């Protein structure tokens, strides 16, 4: 009798995992591939230098005791933009209780505002770590950029970061660098984990905010926390940044990882708040998504854009063949980064 009950329990567990944790089947959104840049073109010489620097920088972290690795990763990431010749100024700000900084390139219009949400796997990163990106966004858009220091895991639950993004967005609508004033234009952008939050905010601004964003830019975004995209496994060996970090996880069965995600995020991995690809994607702001065809998150971006377009939203996917995850942060060293920033500038000019 005990074996019958055990078999029944396992069957129920499998059904729960498949229905509530796994999310809908998205394979129909694996095509079309989007606008591809440089197909067949080899990576630049500078790209090899970037990959080598990532390996060197991560070496001491991998060799450190596990309990020290997160602290060292945060320290390493926060220093990425140090020493760069950046055009913008950086001023601390309090965005309705959320720590942030204003990023202002020369000539930035304070009535045009962009909320920037940094990446870092939800456990690291800060406005300081992403200054090369936020400075460039202010330059090409003419916007006053507000880069937020949202609460990170594991010290805080995942939803704490979500709440900080919402709070900062509402504050940004009514406050500029010089004080209270209404925004004439409002944009949202983010990379990787921050791209996830930016796309979450895109739909939230449509449904719950006091004003829908005018446009959204997501760089190498995570859109599916169920880890269901084909490139999550297929690109482990070609992803020079994420591959070494997450290669160990690929050895575990995906159902086990889904349960870990449930415990870690305190909600199902397929919940639209943390997996924006599963949200209702109609009537979204104009959206530009950039991915590398070599990175693990490539198909996350592709599926999001194709599903948004299928629901009538003006979304666009642009991909580069060989580059590292969020290669934009290596501007101006990488020619591919310059090309990507040119496309972002064109997009923002088009949406006005």
pLDDT of res. 229 = 93
- 10 has a pLDDT exceeding 80: no
For residues 145 and 48, the model is more confident at 145
Whether 21 is covered by a domain: the verdict is: no
Candidate from 27-41, 43-57, 73-87 with smallest mean pLDDT = 43-57
β-sheet with 287-292: strand ranges across: 35-37, 315-320, 287-292, 215-219, 185-191, 109-117, 143-148, 98-104, 89-95
Tell me, yes or no, if the pTM score tops 0.85: yes
Give tens-digit pLDDT for 116-156: 999 999 999 999 999 999 999 999 999 999 999 999 999 99
When the pLDDT of each residue in the chain is averaged and rounded to a whole number, the result is 90
Q: How many domains does the chain have?
A: 1
The SS3 call for residue 288 is: strand
User: Which residues are within 8 A (CB) of 103 and not within 5 positions of it... i.e. 6 or more apart?
Assistant: 88, 89, 90, 116, 127, 131, 134, 135, 137, 138, 144, 145, 146, 147
Query: Is 212 contained in some domain?
Result: yes
Q: What average pLDDT does the segment 330-336 reach? A: 95
Mean pLDDT of 157-165: 96
* Residues 57-83, mean pLDDT to the nearest whole number: 87
Task: Copy the structure tokens of residue 200.
Answer: 């979450």
Per-residue pLDDT, 17: 54
Classify burial at 181, counting beta carbons within 10 Å of its beta carbon; exposed 0-12, middle 13-18, buried 19 or more: middle
Q: Is residue 19 part of a domain?
A: no
Contact 209, 172 (CB under 8 A): no
pLDDT value at residue 262:
66
> What's the confidence (pLDDT) of residue 255?
65
Residue at 190 is within a domain = yes
Q: Rounded to an integer, what distance in angstroms lies between the CA atom of residue 316 and that of residue 308?
A: 9
Q: Is 326 a member of any domain?
A: yes
Q: What are phi and psi of 275, to 5 degrees?
A: -125, 80
The per-residue pLDDT for range 219-253, each reduced to its tens digit, is 999 999 999 999 999 999 999 999 887 776 667 67
Q: Any residues with CB less than 8 A from the CB of 176 and at least 6 apart, and which?
A: 110, 111, 113, 144, 183
pLDDT at position 313 is: 98
CATH of the domain at 238: 3.40.50.1820
- Domain span including residue 201: 33-351
pLDDT for 20: 56
Tell me, rounded to whole angstroms, the distance of Cα 264 from its chain centroid: 18
Q: What are the backbone angles phi and psi of residue 52, rounded to the nearest 5°?
A: -65, -40
With a cut of 90, say whether residue 254 has pLDDT above it.
no
Mean pLDDT across the stretch 308-321?
Answer: 98
What is the average per-residue pLDDT within 11-24? 59
Q: Which residues, other chains included, contact 290 with Cβ-Cβ below 8 Å and sequence gap of 6+?
A: 217, 218, 219, 220, 301, 318, 319, 320, 328, 340, 343, 344
Q: Could you give the residue numbers annotated as active site?
A: 192, 295, 325
Please give the pLDDT value at position 15: 47
Which of 52-56, 76-80, 116-120, 288-292 has the lowest average pLDDT?
52-56
- SS3 of residue 9 by DSSP: helix
Percent of the chain residues past pLDDT 90, beyond the cut = 74
Predicted pLDDT of residue 62: 78
């Amino acid at each position: 009798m005990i074996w019958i009950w055990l078999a029944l329990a396992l069957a129920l567990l499998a059904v729960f995992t498949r229905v509530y944790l796994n999310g809908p089947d998205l394979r129909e959104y694996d095509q079309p591939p989007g606008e591809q840049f440089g197909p067949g073109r080899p990576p630049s010489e500078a790209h090899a230098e970037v990959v080598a620097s990532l390996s060197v920088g991560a070496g001491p972290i991998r060799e450190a005791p596990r309990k020290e690795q997160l602290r060292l990763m945060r320290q390493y990431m926060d220093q990425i933009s140090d020493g760069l010749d950046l055009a913008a100024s950086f001023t601390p700000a309090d965005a309705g209780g959320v720590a942030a900084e204003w990023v202002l390139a020369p000539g930035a219009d304070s009535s045009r505002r962009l909320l920037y949400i940094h990446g870092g796997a939800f456990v690291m990163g800060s406005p300081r770590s992403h200054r090369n990106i936020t400075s460039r966004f202010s330059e090409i858009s003419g916007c006053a950029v507000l880069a937020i220091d949202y609460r990170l895991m594991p010290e805080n639950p995942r939803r704490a970061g979500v709440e900080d993004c919402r709070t900062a967005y509402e504050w940004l609508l009514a406050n500029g660098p010089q004080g209270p004033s209404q925004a004439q234009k409002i944009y949202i952008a983010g990379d990787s984990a921050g791209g996830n939050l930016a796309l979450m905010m895109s739909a939230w601004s449509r449904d719950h905010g006091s004003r829908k964003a005018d446009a959204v830019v997501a760089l190498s975004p995570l859109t599916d926390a169920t880890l269901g995209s084909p490139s999550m496994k297929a690109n482990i060996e070609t992803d020079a940044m994420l591959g070494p970090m997450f290669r160990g996880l690929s050895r575990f069965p995906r159902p086990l990882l889904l349960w870990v995600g449930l415990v870690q995020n305190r909600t199902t991995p397929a919940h639209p708040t943390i997996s924006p690809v599963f949200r209702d994607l109609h009537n979204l702001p104009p959206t530009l998504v950039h991915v590398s065809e070599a990175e693990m998150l490539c198909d996350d971006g592709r599926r999001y854009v194709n599903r948004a377009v299928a629901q009538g939203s003006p979304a666009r996917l642009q991909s580069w063949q060989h580059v590292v995850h969020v290669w934009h942060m290596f501007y101006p060293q990488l020619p591919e980064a310059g090309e990507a920033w040119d496309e972002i500038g064109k997009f923002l000019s088009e949406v006005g």
